[in-house]
Structure 1
Amino acid sequence: MARGTSPELIALQHDAEHAGLQFTIATGPGQLAGLVTASDELIVISEGLFADSAQAVALLDGRAPVVLVQPVEGALVAGFERIDINRASAGLMRLPGQMLERLHELPADCDVISALTRIALQTGVAMREVSATARAGSGWRMIRSEAEAYALEDEWLRSRFGEGSCSSPGRAVARFGVLSFGTSLLHAGNASNAVSAAVLVCVAIAAGLGWFGLIWGGFAFAAIAWLLVEASRLLRAAERHALGQPSPAIPRADAMVWLVDTAFAALILLATPRFPGEPVLAWLCLPAILMMLLVLAPRITGGPFTGWIADRALLGLILAVASGFGQVLLVVRLLSVGLVLAALLLPPRRHG
């Protein structure tokens, strides 16, 4: 149902049709009733409803028609419609298509959602209450203005990423960036893709700076690239949650971390020239051992400092300072020894 066409609605129609879906715009109850057959099944969503997709799917589970409701206290102020003295609508229903036949009896300017709610309850469709847990925070809200939508986006991001302590300084910076700018990026669309593209740019800049002898700058941009990878990880998690998509076996962020690690290894090689007579394998082993230890140590050690070991932003800062003093080789060796000691001395990671 729509009051009329708009550029946004046309764009949504094109996206749906490109995905192989049928998309029809109905502007009145009679037109809507004519599009639905008795054998169809409808999911009716009130205008402005923002609900957690996982909670909504669980509440609508099954084949039986159902009207979702909630206690009336606070619901009316939040914008939901009263059903009876104790209950208000929760903005979501599952109905059989045959109920829409009665829309032909209603005037063209009626509130279709409200009318369908009344029809469903009058015909004996069961009510199911949305739990307080599902309604807590930003999980189940009615949006009545664009300002409320922006505020809810920010609240939703903070509810997902703003609680708890970060495992390392770099991840804290990445999370702060997502909380500060994530709403704008997500609203613009393709947020994680844009940040991933920025990662590639930073890696390219790091490689260029290293090639021209500005090793410290290369390490700095490699650190920035890792921060962007972690930001893209959070943004992609938010996008998948909103779309109900499962996590892939190998997330894109993990693959990009490998790319950043390769950049770190290349910069270390550029900062540690090969000595005369030194075997190539020995020269290559120095950064390879460090990067493998950085991957392995967090997997086998536990404790509060595990996140610091995997923090490539911290690594980039340390190596940038070491490069400024011409001590990259020494620092890489010390870091390798430190990681081995950490794996030996820190408590092992507990699985399960």
Structure 2
Amino acid sequence: MMEPAVAGQSIPRAFLRVGGATLAQHQLGMALALDCQRVICLARGPSPDLIALQHMAEDAGLQFYIATGSRPLSGLVTANDELVVIGEGLFAEPSGVVPLFEGRSPAVLVQPVEGALAAGFERVDINRASAGIMRIPGHLVENLHELPADCDVISALMRIALQSGVPMREVPAAARSGVDWRLIRDEGEAHAVEMEWLRGRFEGGDKVSPGRAVARYGVLNFGSSLLHAGNASNVLSAAVLGALAIAGGLVWFNFVAAGFLFLALASVLVEASRLLRSAERHALGQLPPAIPRADVLGWLVDTAFGLSLLAGIARLGGESLISWMFPPAMLMMLLVMIPRFVSGTAASLAADRATLGLVLAFAAGFGQVEPLAEVLAIVLVVIGMVLPLRRKN
């Protein structure tokens, strides 16, 4: 964490953000995937970002140290240690790195020199360049004492390892494809990688569901800016609550059609927050929680749909409460149940609350919310009876 992200500034490139997490956090996830027990950061000294990284490492059960150069590093590594060395600014998917170190044998990962030098990787020989990561025996760190104190520690360790007979291992082309293996040196490169990373994760998804397609389009075009700021899912979650509050206010004052439009917007924002939260968890190496936040927001949207349906259905004189509540309650329960039992286009459309909001807004404009709710409920029952059930693994 020595090189600045911008010339003349002190912020290291390690704290550039990709996918809502800093490069240092991505590398911490890589260290966890490689079963490391301690993390040593080469840095000029403590900083708020480095302290935050230390807390993350310690929360994950790792010991954390800061070394300001080759001398402090050699004092932290023993001859019996194995050292995984990750180059500054390296952005790589742990799923592509871990298989290359199976068997725990030492190796210096390399790649063809064509294109690697322009990408910022260091040349190893006439045909190969470094891939930015290696596993070496700990006793090799002692050789740093023979070099000047201000040497490039990572480069020096690579040369020492190769001269000591540590074998080179080429990274397969498939692992280096796309943005899965990049060296990020400045803000512009971080932003470009983030956009490509999002496209790789979210393009080509469900194209049948209009609401989810709109959410995916929004994430691909605007999600990078939110993730780059580090508050993407929180901003969208707050926007969902804001849209629900506006919808509730409109329905309260009997603007039911407009309320359904805002519920459609809220459902699109829920799907966008689901995608962005998934990207943030992936970047931080976090497993999904038992109950994702987007699911809770989705339940709130469904509840708001049910209450808005009741507001759009006039209760006749002498009509029982259960009779008045039956069409909205039955429709919302079927909308939740059908996608769990059937798959394909019907299930995608049944789960698409944005489409539901637009259809109900149109019906509310003509005072036909109750007939439409009844027809939709019948259609969903027929879908459940006719279509084949979803196969369970």
TM-score norm. by structure 2 comes to 0.83
Change (3 A) 1:277 1:61: farther
TM-score norm. by structure 1 comes to 0.92
Q: Contact conserved, 2:244 with 2:262, CA < 8 A, in 1? A: yes
Structure 1 unaligned blocks of 5 or more: none
Change (3 A) 1:179 1:293: same
Q: Contact conserved, 1:54 with 1:244, CA < 8 A, in 2? A: no
Match of 1:89 in 2: 130
1:237-256 deviation digits (Å, cap 9, x = unpaired): 11111112222233221221
Q: Contact conserved, 1:298 with 1:310, CA < 8 A, in 2? A: yes
Alignment counterpart, residue 169 of structure 2, candidates 128, 140, 156: 128
- Residue 164 of structure 1, CA deviation: 4.5
1:277-310 deviation digits (Å, cap 9, x = unpaired): 2221222222111011111112222333421121
Alignment partner of 1:330 is 2:371: yes
Q: Which moved more, 1:136-145 or 1:244-253?
A: 244-253
Once residues 343 and 143 of structure 2 are traced to their aligned partners in structure 1, the CA distance between those partners, rounded to angstroms, is: 63
Aligned partner of 2:383: which letter?
A
Q: Contact conserved, 1:167 with 1:306, CA < 8 A, in 2? A: no
- Residue 62 of structure 1, CA deviation: 4.5
Q: Contact conserved, 2:346 with 2:383, CA < 8 A, in 1? A: no
Q: Contact conserved, 1:42 with 1:96, CA < 8 A, in 2? A: yes
Match of 2:75 in 1: 34
Alignment counterpart, residue 178 of structure 1, candidates 219, 239, 249: 219
- Residue 23 of structure 1, CA deviation: 4.8
Match of 1:114 in 2: 155
Alignment counterpart, residue 356 of structure 2, candidates 315, 320, 330: 315
Match of 2:24 in 1: none
Q: Contact conserved, 1:303 with 1:346, CA < 8 A, in 2? A: no
SS of the equivalent of 1:320 reads: helix
Alignment partner of 1:214 is 2:255: yes
Once residues 25 and 338 of structure 1 are traced to their aligned partners in structure 2, the CA distance between those partners, rounded to angstroms, is: 63
Alignment counterpart, residue 52 of structure 2, candidates 15, 23, 34: 15
- Residue 214 of structure 1, CA deviation: 1.2
SS of the equivalent of 1:134 reads: coil
Once residues 72 and 51 of structure 2 are traced to their aligned partners in structure 1, the CA distance between those partners, rounded to angstroms, is: 21
- Residue 172 of structure 1, CA deviation: 0.8
Q: Contact conserved, 2:206 with 2:212, CA < 8 A, in 1? A: no
- Residue 334 of structure 1, CA deviation: 1.1
SS of the equivalent of 2:47 reads: helix
Q: Which moved more, 1:116-125 or 1:150-159?
A: 116-125
SS of the equivalent of 1:299 reads: helix
Q: Which moved more, 1:129-138 or 1:308-317?
A: 129-138
Q: Contact conserved, 1:168 with 1:311, CA < 8 A, in 2? A: yes
Alignment partner of 1:285 is 2:322: no
Once residues 268 and 315 of structure 2 are traced to their aligned partners in structure 1, the CA distance between those partners, rounded to angstroms, is: 30
Once residues 334 and 287 of structure 1 are traced to their aligned partners in structure 2, the CA distance between those partners, rounded to angstroms, is: 11
Q: Which moved more, 1:48-57 or 1:68-77?
A: 68-77
- Root-mean-square deviation (Å): 2.2
Match of 2:245 in 1: 204
SS of the equivalent of 2:134 reads: strand
Higher relative contact order (CA 8 A, sep 6+): 2
Once residues 97 and 228 of structure 2 are traced to their aligned partners in structure 1, the CA distance between those partners, rounded to angstroms, is: 22
Structure 2 unaligned blocks of 5 or more: 5-9, 16-45
Q: Contact conserved, 1:2 with 1:25, CA < 8 A, in 2? A: no
Q: Which moved more, 1:75-84 or 1:216-225?
A: 75-84
